[in-house]
Amino acid sequence: MKIKILGTRGKIEPKAEDHVNHTGFLIDDKILVDVGEEKYMDKQPKAVVFTHFHPDHAFFVPNKEKFIPKIPLFGPETHDLIPQLKVIAGKFEVEGYTFTPIPVIHALRLKSLGYIIEKAGKRIFITGDVAWIEKANLADLPPLDLVITEATFIKKGGRINRKKDRIFGHTGVPNLIRLLSPLTKKIIFCHYGEWFFEDTPHNSKQKIKALEEEIPLVVAHDGMEIEV
Q: Looking at residue 152, what is its pLDDT?
A: 98
Please give the Cα distance from 217 to 151 (Å, whole number).
12
Query: At residue 201, what are phi and psi to the nearest 5 degrees?
Result: -55, -35
Question: Cα 204 vs. chain centroid, distance in angstroms?
Answer: 20
**What are 68-115's pLDDT values in tens digits?**
999 999 999 999 999 999 999 999 999 999 999 999 999 999 999 999
Q: Looking at residue 174, what is its pLDDT?
A: 98
Q: Looking at residue 117, what is its pLDDT?
A: 98
Q: Looking at residue 92, what is its pLDDT?
A: 98
Closest CA to 227 of 124, 94, 100: 124
146 with 188: CB under 8 angstroms?
Answer: yes
Q: Looking at residue 87, what is its pLDDT?
A: 98
CB atoms within 10 A of CB 81: 15
Q: Looking at residue 218, what is its pLDDT?
A: 98
> CA-based angle 93:225:151, to the nearest 5?
85
* pLDDT mean over 169-173: 98
Q: Looking at residue 39, what is its pLDDT?
A: 98
Q: Looking at residue 171, what is its pLDDT?
A: 98
**What are 122-138's pLDDT values in tens digits?**
999 999 999 999 999 99
Residue by residue, DSSP assigns 13-82 as S--BTTB-S--EEEETTTEEE-BSSGGGGGG--SEEE-S---TTTBTTTTTT-----SS-EEESS--TT-
The verdict on pTM exceeding 0.95 is yes
**What are 28-84's pLDDT values in tens digits?**
999 999 999 999 999 999 999 999 999 999 999 999 999 999 999 999 999 999 999
For 61-77, letters b (16+ CB in 10 Å) and e give eeeeeebeeebbbbbbe
Strand partners, 101: 115
Instruction: Quote the radius of gyration of the chain (alpha carbons, Å).
Output: 16
The separation between the first and the last C-alpha atoms of the chain, rounded to the nearest angstrom, is 5
Instruction: Fill in the DSSP letter of residue 143.
Output: P
**What are 172-227's pLDDT values in tens digits?**
999 999 999 999 999 999 999 999 999 999 999 999 999 999 999 999 999 999 99
